[in-house]
Chain A
Amino acid sequence: GQQLNQSPQSMFIQEGEDVSMNCTSSSIFNTWLWYKQDPGEGPVLLIALYKAGELTSNGRLTAQFGITRKDSFLNISASIPSDVGIYFCAGQYIAGANSKLTFGKGITLSVRP
């Protein structure tokens, strides 16, 4: 089946630094989504991408839908302590009633003050 790869499992950065996370797939997707999850909470949608090559920003966050449709990246600029959390990518190929998302296992981000 489809798999999404996110690595490394954990990242440690200094406050103020930029960080980039990548998500790769063994097959193509039509939709890429990026979520952030705080401890004990549900994932919160950060950015949604619907078109190959699309570059979308949400405040200090920028995400891109790869041209090959097999990858996406998320960039966080000027990190702050509240950026700490788990960042998931998710992709979907088939649209419609029975379509499902495939999730990456997430990257745990730590920000040192």
Chain B
Amino acid sequence: DVKVTQSSRYLVKRTGEKVFLECVQDMDHENMFWYRQDPGLGLRLIYFSYDVKMKEKGDIPEGYSVSREKKERFSLILESASTNQTSMYLCATRTSSDTQYFGPGTRLTVL
């Protein structure tokens, strides 16, 4: 079974704080993704990575950065959190057959 884990299920941060969201997969997949999910807007791609140290912007990268130092770990960084970044954040990994599997999500609230 594919297993994708996210470091926190719930997180509360203050405006201006630096926030790290961690995602780990145990299937040696090359491709990993970060999405945010908001009511009425669906899933939106923030960044993705197709190899270690490789990253590509998704549809809404502004205000975010990512880090992929090891194959199994993909981190999403909010350099200076803002209230409009309050959201559900979902990490996903992709298999060789182009199927994506998601982690359980991190509900981030920025006060």
Residues of chain A contacted by B45 (CB below 8 angstroms): 100
Chain A contact residues (Cβ within 8 angstroms of B): what range? 20 to 34
Give the number of A-B contacts (CB < 8 Å).
Answer: 52
Give CA–CA (A9, B100) in the complex, Å.
23
Residues of chain A contacted by B48 (CB below 8 angstroms): 100
Instruction: Say yes or no: is B50 at the interface (Cβ < 8 Å to chain A).
Output: yes
Residues of chain B contacted by A35 (CB below 8 angstroms): 102
Give CA–CA (A42, B23) in the complex, Å.
13
Pick the 6 closest A-B CB pairs, nearest first.
Answer: A42-B102, A97-B50, A105-B42, A42-B105, A103-B43, A42-B104
| 21 pairs, A vs B, C-beta closer than 8 Å | A31-B99, A40-B105, A40-B107, A42-B105, A44-B102, A45-B99, A45-B100, A45-B101, A45-B102, A48-B99, A92-B98, A95-B98, A97-B30, A97-B31, A97-B51, A98-B56, A100-B58, A101-B100, A105-B40, A105-B42, A106-B42
A residues touching B (Cβ–Cβ < 8 Å)?
30-31, 33, 35, 40-45, 48, 50, 88, 90, 92, 95, 97-101, 103-106
